[in-house]
Amino acid sequence: MKRLLLLSIAVWCITVYSYCQIDWKNFMSRQDMIWTRLPQTWYEAPFMGNGSMGTYICKEPGKNAIRVDVGNSMVHDHRTNDKSIYGRCRLLIGYFLLHPTGEIKSGDMRLDLWNAETTGCIRTTLGEIKLKAYVTSESPYIVVETEATEGEKDFTWKFYPENTDSPRQLNAIRIKSKSHFKKDYISNPASQFYARNGLNFCWQPLLDGGGTATAWKEFRKEKKSILIISNAHSFPETNALQKVETALINMQEIDLPALHETHRNWWHNYYPQSFVSLPDKKMENFYWVQIYKLASATRIGGGLLDNSGPWQVLTPWPNTWWNLNAQLSYWPVYASNRLELGMPLVDVVKNNFDNLIHNVPEAYRKDAAALPVCTDFNLIGVDIRVPGSRKFAQVGNLPWLCHNLWLQYRYSMDETILRNTIFPTLKRAINFYIPFLEKDEQGILHLKETYSPEYGSAKDCNYDIALLRWGCQTLLKASQILSIKDNLIPKWQEIIEKLTDYPQDENGMMIGKDMPFSKSHRHYSHLLMFYPLYLLNIEQNENKELLEKSVEHWLSIPGNILGFSNTGASSLYAAAGEGNKALEKLKGLFALALRPNTMYMESGPVIETPLSGAQCIHDMLLQSWGGKIRVFPAVPSQWGDVQFQTLRTEGAFLVSASRKEGKTTGIRIKSLAGEPCILRTDMVNPIVKAGNVTLTPIGQGEYSLDLKKGETVVLTTAEENIPMISPVNGKGQNFFGIQ
């Protein structure tokens, strides 16, 4: 079976790039995270997940025990009379502790990315316990296999339920925070234990109905043990209990090899969807851990990429945040050619459209919709405030989410996403701006006071001006593509033509009218017109200087420049074509805040920051805004040798490229949708090496290719043969974990 799988991968490689030489198992083993001592916290530990269920493994602090956490991103509170961060939040579940017979002295672990499983050895005063753990890729199980020496054969497992109150409330109690403590909060009922049909159960009911069920069974024989855990959530029904019982009741030890093989096969098919190799091996290692993390945290039918993923801990942020966090988390799925991981974002909007409408005050529900700063997985949150009448009117979150949906469309060219989800949602999002636009004496449209995330309220807020302009332009494009004659087309055109310019001063972009950027601020939402919207870009006169001036002023005020400030600055510099600065800022994330397992936290877990770091790498290697494919647009000078394979671009192109000693030696492009193809490259005098395609120069370093749907072209210089795609040389491996 393994030989057949490797053969199929090899054939696939030959198909996509004439020739490639990637030993995936060996290559991915270089990306593993290694612990030579036992981790003791979530942000140190090896983590696993299948898009819904998740676990991490560490030594429980202050106890002689090993923790195997039980996580599930579908576990939420659903309080009907409390739409706040407390009433509609993610909830903790519980954890298993492995209690050894002796005292734990040391241990080691390895997170095997290729197989998506953790192995380790726990050494005690009485012997050793070896373990292997994984979260099955296509079924609801956490599996922990152990084998002990004679002195440790009597170790035990015990489940400890967590308090199911709001993690924000519990965290406030823990840190004695009055600002985060809700005085009238009512606790959920206590957990309940029972056993039947050879299974153990923990039922965690909710105040307003439904609840969370955890069930487990153990196969034990002499010195070997296999613990199998299942978890489910239901609301308002209580059928989560039935789900976990059904999942485990007929499970036998003999079933595990097939389950394990299915799990590994899923991951072995996942990784080769694209390939990136860098001479900076620490950066390469970081990149592949994020690709692993993405599929561990979200899948079709699974949970959203909220602030925690499946690995919920005590935190002030137990919800989905929409003024930056969720959008950044999903950015890497598009260029990495893993569009299936972006579909939960499309589905949550499509399936909860009515909730978006009910998020605006009743007077605006006829034709508008909006997204609060934080919501549950059904997009329910506290009502949006009306611009111009109340401070903190944060209106831009839904248009920004629509930009992610637009990327899902542009990278797939799936018109059903545009017609059924993007167009109706974006139309309502823009409609919520229209009543708050006012004309001055010159006929220029201005926006009433709205809120720039975490900074302040201002008229003509750049966050909203950029999103409003992008939204109207996109609605016009969508109307043309879908042949829709909407009666609002003249209004969208008027807004584009007459909307005020972005407020700016001698330091670059301001927050809004009469509000300069003058205090340290981690968000770069006032710079969205540069990235990711590219409304202002380096191909327009003087905008490169404006971009860099704005970014440098933003970063020049220290104090609140944090993790995603670095990744945002990196992508902004990449948008300016400044690869060295882009790399410098990404390395700033490593120095400032990246944890041993590549997680990140600000008071609690915020998963978007390292994931957006993977997008920074994409932005250095490949960009496709404005209808052009840009190969190696911002490669750092120290990255002389770079290779990537089947990264994806807007227009649904698969692009592979090779760079050697600072020069681009080959580019391969396959069209999946037959869209117009314009290439921008630093390759000198490229020629068509393979493919019946005409290459037409149209400008300095730009070429048009008459590439039809399904066709492929390979470009090289006259001196180069078609390059082989393989890992590039570099020093070091396995940089993450604790060593």
pLDDT digits (tens, 9 = 90+) for 385-410: 999 987 889 999 999 999 999 999 99
- Mean pLDDT check: name the lowest of 287-301, 476-490, 585-599, 667-681: 585-599
What span, in angstroms and rounded, lies between the C-alpha atoms of 192 and 14? 56
pLDDT digits (tens, 9 = 90+) for 202-224: 999 999 999 999 999 999 999 99
State the SS3 of 77-143. Answer: CCCCCCCCCCCCCECCCEEEEEECCCCEEEEEEEEECCCCEEEEEEEECCEEEEEEEEECCCCCCEE
Select the highest-mean-pLDDT range: 18-32, 46-60, 587-601, 708-722.
Answer: 46-60
In 134-181, where does DSSP find H-type helix?
167-175
How confident is residue 18, by pLDDT bands cut at 50, 70 and 90? very low
Predicted confidence at residue 603, as pLDDT, reads 80
- State the pairing for strand pair 687-690/712-716: antiparallel
Under the banding of pLDDT at 50, 70 and 90, the label for residue 702 is very high
Token couple for 136: 């099955």
Q: 353-534, what's its fold? A: Glycosyltransferase (1.50.10)
| CA-to-CA dists, residue 87 to 165, 204, 232, 369, 666, angstroms | 9, 16, 20, 22, 54
* Average pLDDT rounded to a whole number, residues 249-267: 96
For 703-708, the CB contacts below 8 A with 24+ separation are: 703/678, 703/679, 704/676, 704/677, 704/678, 704/679, 705/669, 705/677, 705/678, 705/679, 706/677, 707/653, 707/669, 707/671, 707/674, 707/677, 708/671, 708/674
Say whether 194 sits in a helix, a strand or coil: strand
Specify the long-range contacts of residues 491-495, CB closer than 8 Å, at least 24 apart.
491/434, 492/430, 494/445, 495/434, 495/437, 495/445, 495/468, 495/469
Task: Give the pLDDT confidence score for residue 19 in this predicted structure.
Answer: 58
Query: What token pair was written down for 290?
Result: 């994020």
Q: How far apart are the two ends of the chain, measured CA to CA in Å? A: 35
8 Å CB contact between 213 and 203: yes
pLDDT > 90? residue 722: no
- Preceding peptide of 39 cis, ω within 30°: no
Supply the pLDDT for residue 21. 85
Coil vs helix vs strand at 694: coil
Alpha helices, H only, 214-352: 240-249, 256-270, 281-297, 325-335, 343-351
Q: Domains of the chain: which residue ranges?
A: 34-272, 353-534
Q: Which CATH number among 3.50.50.60, 2.70.98.50, 3.40.50.300, 3.30.2180.10 corresponds to the domain 34-272?
A: 2.70.98.50
Provide mean pLDDT across the span 107-131: 98
Is the pLDDT at 140 greater than 90, yes or no? yes
Residue-wise pLDDT tens digits, 149-172 = 999 999 999 999 999 999 999 999
pLDDT digits (tens, 9 = 90+) for 52-78: 999 999 999 999 999 999 999 999 999
Average model confidence (pLDDT) across the chain: 94
CA distance 55 to 65: 16
